[in-house]
Amino acid sequence: MDALSCSPAAITNPRRATLAARRRGLSCLGRRHAENEGPGGRAFLGCRGIGQGGVVKNEIKNAGGQRDRTAIDFSDPGWKPKFQRDFESRFDLPHLKDVFPDAVPIPSTFCLRMRSPTEEFADGYPSDEKWHGYINNSDRVLLKVIHYSSPTSAGAQCIDPDCSWVEQWVHRAGPREEIYFRPEEVKAAIVTCGGLCPGLNDVIRQIVITLEIYGVKKIVGIPFGYRGFGDEGLTEMPLSRKVVQNVHLSGGSLLGVSRGGPSIPEIVDTMEKRGINMLFVLGGNGTHAGANAIHNEVCRKRRLRVAVVGVPKTIDNDILLMDKTFGFDTAVEEAQRAINSAYIE
């Protein structure tokens, strides 16, 4: 995810996580603002479950082609184009310039030499300047590649009773040719929320390394989830390539985790006080609802140029549009081992 271009993304492979940009990003991790309010009108985070974060469960459950069929008139010959337009509108990614029209892009500082061969390295390969390493803003990825002929087919995911084929396209991730943050002005923070998940340290490590490739020098970790924004006794942890070099060899989370936390305004106040203008949130669906609420408070309400980037993390594998979230395979393997042992005994 090209965080410097202010785009949200899902970093799903912990060992090869690249901060890939989706074309229109700006830290909008959901299409709805988490608006649950606690006593005194304050919006509180819910790091466990969708409902606590303020995102209506039915909106998540029914999105991505799994929406309530009663809302679609399949007798209408033009239902497919209408469905596609509705899908695209719900999964379109807001851009920084939607909030800040005067935002001026700069050439990307991402070094293509880190991912492409050069003429000096191997004869016959194009030079770095000629290597096409950036992602075009109009690139799309087909969400579903199997055309099921019948609802009774194994694994069938059908929109209508006849299992008609409907193309559903989503934005392609990858580094963009232009970015909207100057690396020397960025202070990036990483926070891990919810429960522990295999691969957390891998993702933390790769975020830090990739930010350094862009030229970002000020990178910190927020200890113990969102709680680290409200507890004055918890100080942020400086991060660098040297600090995280071997952290992927250890389990758990280098930063620690927790559930819940202070109110949204309190979190944003802390971010503003510390000068954080880029926040990477590693968590599940409830955590991302909170991250979306932070974005709406910091960017749309207070109009501060801050990117909030969501990294799906859950062993439940229950996040929309994701084939597998990191940690899911390990959780299944360990559960299977325990079940087999119990069966043998």
Share of residues in the chain with pLDDT > 70 (%): 74
For residue 307 the two structure tokens come to: 């990117």
Question: What fold, for 3-344?
Answer: Rossmann fold (3.40.50)
Give the torsion through C-alpha atoms of 310, 280, 311, 191, to 10 deg.
Answer: -120
Domain coordinates in residue numbering, the chain: 3-344
Of 174 and 238, which is predicted with more confidence? 238
Nearest to 175 by CA among 339, 9, 37: 9
224: how many CB neighbours lie within 10 A of its CB?
19
Q: What is the mean pLDDT of residues 34-47?
A: 37
Summarised one tens digit per residue, pLDDT across range 217-246 is: 999 999 999 999 998 889 999 999 999 999
Under the banding of pLDDT at 50, 70 and 90, the label for residue 129 is low
Beta pairing class for 106-107 and 178-179: antiparallel
Provide the mean pLDDT of the chain. 77
Residue with tokens 């042992």: 341
pTM of the entire predicted model? 0.72
Q: In this structure, are residues 163 and 189 in contact, taking their beta carbons and an 8 Å threshold?
A: no
Summarised one tens digit per residue, pLDDT across range 295-334 is: 999 988 999 999 999 998 888 888 777 788 888 888 888 8
Using a 10 angstrom Cβ sphere, with 0-12 exposed, 13-18 middle and 19 or more buried, the burial of residue 92 is middle
Amino acid at 13: N
Under the banding of pLDDT at 50, 70 and 90, the label for residue 47 is very low
Nearest to 198 by CA among 236, 246, 248: 248
Summarised one tens digit per residue, pLDDT across range 68-104 is: 444 788 888 889 999 988 888 888 877 788 888 899 9
pLDDT of residue 143: 87
pLDDT of residue 7: 44
Catalytically annotated residue among 316, 318, 323, 329:
316
The DSSP secondary-structure symbol of 301 reads: I
Residue 219 to residues 86, 107, 245, 329, Cα–Cα distance (Å): 38, 21, 14, 30
Residue 90 to residues 30, 52, 58, 67, 85, Cα–Cα distance (Å): 9, 22, 14, 12, 9
Give the torsion through C-alpha atoms of 213, 214, 219, 223, to 10 deg.
Answer: -80
3-state secondary structure (DSSP) of residue 163: coil
Nearest to 308 by CA among 15, 20, 29: 29
Establish whether 316 is a catalytic residue. yes
